[in-house]
Amino acid sequence: MGVIRAAIAGTGSFAPEKILTNKDLEKMVETTDEWIRSRTGMSERHISDEKTATSDLATAAALKALEAAGVKPEELDLVLVGTVTPDKIFPSTACFVQNNIGAVNAAAFDISAACSGFIYGLTIANSMIISGQIKTALVIGAETLSKYTDWKDRGTCILFGDGSGAVVIKSSDSGSGVLSSYIWSDGSGTKPGLLEIPGGGTRDPNGKRTIVMEGNDVFKKAVKGMEKCIDAALEKAGLAYGDVSLFLPHQANLRIIESIAKRMGLNAERVFVNLHKYGNTSAASIPIALDEANKAGRIKKGDVILLVAFGAGMTMGAAVIKW
């Protein structure tokens, strides 16, 4: 028997129907389509309606991933949802998803790691699989950031979108699966105003409940932080930049992605970008991208996929997967 790894058995994603374009944003704040495209790479993003909560988006992606994997909900041992936009303070969004899909044999909980939520979730599920505690897990990233967006702040409202992505991972000795992951946090990034929703928690229950960000500072920290995580995850896997078949980074800004890809010497064919269609969907961005890349035939069996994320906290992490 070979080494036990956590292999990706199926992927799924979902985005609400309504699309908000850069042209729409021109009518809402002082900005231009040209500024948004050139500074971020974004063209449009999906926005959920009033009735839709994060667990609704998460459930839709989860059902697609289960179907693609050929796994029944009752086979799941674990349901994880990376999100910073939960349905409620409690119960967890993961418990809503568990109930919606009928994963009656699973443990379910949320991971609050902002944009790194999916990689943190994958790391936890992977550890539980390789230690033999569980066999099958559903890892989801889902957000409805539009509900926490200040639509008068041009520095943030142009960036974010709603959506969800999910993967089913299974214990496997086929050689495929997570080769390594590395997660790290820098709690000094909790500095007020850097990247946060200041109010609504126990510190300031009645404070401002929309996203606040010092974009340029976060930009620089994101590049450095993701480079550190990439180097650590690749080193753990015993691989080099040149071994990466497809680089699939968190979709926050095209300039961030291009700067990291350039340092690694990766050409455009080896970098997956879909932020022009979704904006920054926080924890959902990597699993949405993974599902799109998978469906578009950009990933072949045996390929080495490098995931990397960075988010509020600051949280960051990278994972290397053999497909």
Q: Residue 223 Cβ, how far from ligand UT7 at the closest point, in Å?
A: 9
In the bound state with ligand UT7, the residue whose beta carbon lies nearer, of 202 and 216, is 216
Residue 95 a catalytic site member: no
C-alpha distances out from residue 100 to 59, 73, 92, Å: 7, 10, 13
Q: Which is nearer to ligand UT7, 77 or 162 (CB)?
A: 162
Residue placing its CB nearer to ligand UT7 in the complex, 158 or 260:
158
Phi, psi of 268 (to 5 degrees): -55, -30
The token pair at 92 is 């967890």
Q: Which residues contact ligand UT7 (rule: CB under 6 A)? A: 31, 35, 39-40, 115, 154-155, 158, 195, 215-216, 218-219, 222, 252-253, 280, 310-311
The residue among 76 and 81 lying less far from ligand UT7, judged by its C-beta, is 81
Of the CA atoms within 13 Å of residue 122, those in its CB half-sphere come to: 37
| Least distance CB 9 / ligand UT7 (angstroms) | 28
User: What are 125's two structure tokens?
Assistant: 């599920």
CB-nearer residue toward ligand UT7: 22 or 136: 22
Query: How far apart are the C-alpha atoms of 322 and 99, rounded to whole Å?
Result: 31
Q: Say how far apart CA 23 and CA 16 lie, in whole Å.
A: 19
From the list 229, 250, 253, 294, the catalytic residue is 250
Contacts of 271 (CB under 8 A, 6+ apart): 246, 247, 249, 257, 258, 261
| 206 belongs to the catalytic site | no
* Nearest-approach distance from CB 59 to ligand UT7, in angstroms: 24
122 closest CA partner among 248, 16, 297: 248
Question: Which of 95, 115, 157, 229 is the catalytic position?
Answer: 115
CB of 93 to ligand UT7, least distance (A): 19
Annotated catalytic, 250? yes
Give the Cα separation of 211 and 306 in Å (integer).
28
- Cβ 159 to ligand UT7 shortest distance, Å: 6
- Of the residues 22, 126, 253, 280, which is catalytic? 280
Question: Catalytic residue positions?
Answer: 115, 250, 280
